[in-house]
Structures are given as structure tokens and as C-alpha cells.
Amino acid sequence: MGVPIAAEAPPRRYTQPQQLWPSTPKGVHRARQALSETLNEWGLPELIDSAGLVLGELLTNALRHGRLGDRSIGTSFTRAENGTGILIEVHDSRPEHPTLVKALDDDESGRGLTIVDALTNHQWGVTPRPGPGKVVWARIPALP
């Protein structure tokens, strides 16, 4: 049984405006490309792999569990004030919070949030948003 995650998102700095993506696998790919371009612009190319994986997992969860009909899924990326990492936010239309579960060895899914939890050093959570749905956020620390 999973434990719901609820915490306040860290403060926002150097924000790339929210973008909307089609609620399809192609939307996930396009969002990851946009994140890579943003990280290069911000001088943080070393975060592309880990941040892309976290974004992909959060968007896939939003596609599978957080969308209503064909509504778009939103993302925003925020650079830490001192450049030591970024905050990724994924906005979806459902109020249900994701839960961190321990997948069994033969389970075919259920590992996404475990990956997010590991790559963010447990720095992720869920916050409400105006209107329907929620924001799932994750902070990607800079590499040592």
C-alpha cells in the first residue's frame, strides 16, 4: 500500500513559463525536448539525463492517471536561484495524488515514482492548483 505524498513546493525562481502538451506519448517526447533546450540555455546540461527521466515519469503518470478526456498536460521548469538545480512541475486535471509504492519483482509497472524519489533525493510532492487537478513537482539537485 502506498503512502500519499503531500508537501509544499519549494519557492520559484527563474521560471520558464508553463507550456501545454498534448496528452499523448508524443507530448511527453516534446516536453522532454523542451526541458533539454531549457537546461542548455540555463547552462545546466549535466542535468538533462536525470531531469528528463524525472519529467518523463511524471508526465507518463499524468497521462495514465491524471488526465481528463483530451485535456492537455502542463509543465513548468524553474531554476534554483543559485543555479544548483531545477524544479519541474507537471499540472494535470485530476485531484487524486500519486502514491509511492514498492513494485514487486514481476510487476510490469509501478516503479516510476520510486525512480523520481531516488533521483530527487526524496524532494518531490503534490500541491493543489487553481481549478481542477493538481501539480506534481520534483526538485532535481545539481550534480556534485
- 144 residues of the chain, pLDDT tens digit each: 444 444 454 444 445 667 888 778 888 999 999 999 999 988 899 999 999 999 999 998 888 876 666 677 889 999 987 777 999 999 888 888 787 777 666 666 667 888 899 999 999 999 988 878 889 999 999 876
SS3 assignment, position 17: strand
Q: Which residues pair with 99 in a beta bridge?
A: 4
Domains of the chain, with CATH numbers? 3-141 (3.30.565.10)
Edge to edge, the sheet with strand 85-92 lists 15-21, 73-79, 85-92, 134-141, 124-128
Under 8 Å CB-to-CB from 142, ≥6 apart: which residues?
A: 44, 46, 47, 80, 83, 84, 85
What pLDDT is attached to residue 69?
A: 64
For the residues of 54-96, what is the DSSP string, one character each?
HHHHHHHHIIIII--TT--EEEEEEE-TTSSEEEEEEEES--P
